[in-house]
Amino acid sequence: MEFRRLGETVMNLSIIGFGAWAIGGKRNATGWWELGPADDALSLAAIHRAIDRGVNWIDTAPGYGLGHSEEIIGKSIRGMHDRPYVFTKCGYVWSDDRVVTNNISTASIGKEVDDSLRRLGLDSIDLYQIHGVSPENDHLIDQAWEALFRLKEQGKVVHIGVSNFNVARLQRIQSIAAVETLQASYSLLDRSIEDETLPYCQRRNIGTIAYSPMQTGLLSGSITRTRMDAMASDDARRFNPNFKEPLLTVNLGRVERLRHLATEWNTDPGHIAVAWTLRSTLVTGAIVGFKSPAQVDEMMADEYFELSDAQLDAIEAIGWTDFVERS
């Protein structure tokens, strides 16, 4: 496994990180989680298998299963002598009737971090991130970032970062405290960070973590028209333009061409999609969602994540940039 330093932090990360959103349970049509069935034993086994295969960081958030993902991670690392880094977030909270809202007030962040520390069983969180900011809360960004900086001073978190921030927002908070990391969507189907965000992060030495490198499973090769037809009506992907016509037909054609390349290179489409995301060292690591040890083994089958120039040309020849839609 290759390791890369995350910006100016002290952390050298495996280029693949364990994405813990899926182990939270069942998602609803809005993309947020319900209290539904989850195979916790399988989730725990997946985390341990990933660690055995060299993955040294886990990314989660309170909203993943309304705290359930963090609880499973806490169980998985309890008593572990050499535990992986644990990253979590703040900014999304839920009511007693499980309605999720964006809240980045200082008071809310203070409560969230304590709740996360309790669920994770940690004294300090390795990386704490603002998960996202709704338009109506834009005026609270400065005080939210100040709150994260205070948590770092108090020792409740080691490093602080943001998720889903554009350059304007990064510049806005940089004068308050250094932005150490950015987590952003990045894949063959979503290159929106390439023109401005990645170069800005490079200039400021902000570590960049890519999420959804397989575009919510679309680039994994597992999504077919038959599977789409059988997909539950409340599956959040049904509301994603990349999974709806006319883009669905275009994207399935792209993935089929990617599948042909994967066969030729003795790998699978998802592996290629992740390797493409990691082709530049401007991306420190990619978050890959695992729900079972088998999925970990499939992704780590050869631990080969380097593409040649000829392979990159073949991937680009498929044509990905005529339409970009975020998940």
* pLDDT tens digits, 118-131: 999 999 999 999 99
Mean of pLDDT values over 83-94: 96
Alpha-helical (H) ranges within 175-268 are 197-204, 225-230, 247-264
Residue 31's nearest CA partner among 94, 96, 100 is 100
Active site residue 128: no
Mean of pLDDT values over 170-175: 96
CA 205 – CA 180 distance, rounded (Å): 8
Q: Taking each helix axis as running N to C, give the angle between helix 309-316 and helix 269-277, from 0 to 180 degrees, rounded to the nearest 10.
A: 110
Under the banding of pLDDT at 50, 70 and 90, the label for residue 241 is confident
Q: Which domain holds residue 17?
A: 3-220+270-306
* pLDDT at 152 (0 to 100): 98
CA 245 – CA 307 distance, rounded (Å): 31
3-state helix, strand, coil in the chain (%, to 5): 40, 15, 40
State which of 19-23, 88-92, 280-284 shows the largest mean pLDDT. 88-92
Q: Which amino acid is residue 175, in one-letter code?
A: S
Asked whether residue 193 is assigned to any structural domain, the reply reads: yes
Asked whether residue 14 is assigned to any structural domain, the reply reads: yes
Mean of pLDDT values over 286-308: 89
Prediction pTM value: 0.92
CA 103 – CA 120 distance, rounded (Å): 21
Phi-psi region of 79 (alpha: psi -120 to 50; beta: other; left: phi over 0): left
Under the banding of pLDDT at 50, 70 and 90, the label for residue 242 is confident
* Average pLDDT score, the chain: 90
Asked whether residue 234 is assigned to any structural domain, the reply reads: no
Asked whether residue 145 is assigned to any structural domain, the reply reads: yes
Mean of pLDDT values over 8-24: 94
Q: Which of 19-33, 80-94, 131-145 has the lowest mean pLDDT?
A: 19-33
Residue 35's nearest CA partner among 60, 61, 69, 10 is 69
Asked whether residue 142 is assigned to any structural domain, the reply reads: yes
CA 164 – CA 182 distance, rounded (Å): 7
Mean of pLDDT values over 43-51: 97
3-class SS of residue 125: strand
Task: Report the CATH number that the domain containing residue 81 is assigned in CATH.
Answer: 3.20.20.100
Q: Are 177 and 5 in contact (CB under 8 A)?
A: no
- pLDDT tens-digit series, residues 179-207: 999 999 999 999 999 999 999 999 999 99
Asked whether residue 226 is assigned to any structural domain, the reply reads: no
* pLDDT at 292 (0 to 100): 93
Asked whether residue 20 is assigned to any structural domain, the reply reads: yes
Backbone φ and ψ of 233, nearest 5°: -65, -25
3-class SS of residue 297: helix
The total number of structural domains that make up the chain: 1
Mean of pLDDT values over 52-67: 94
Query: Could you tell me which residues are beta bridge partners of residue 294?
Result: none
Q: Choosing from 64, 128, 200, 211, which is the catalytic residue?
A: 64
**Dihedral sign of CA atoms 121, 114, 145, 105 in order:** positive
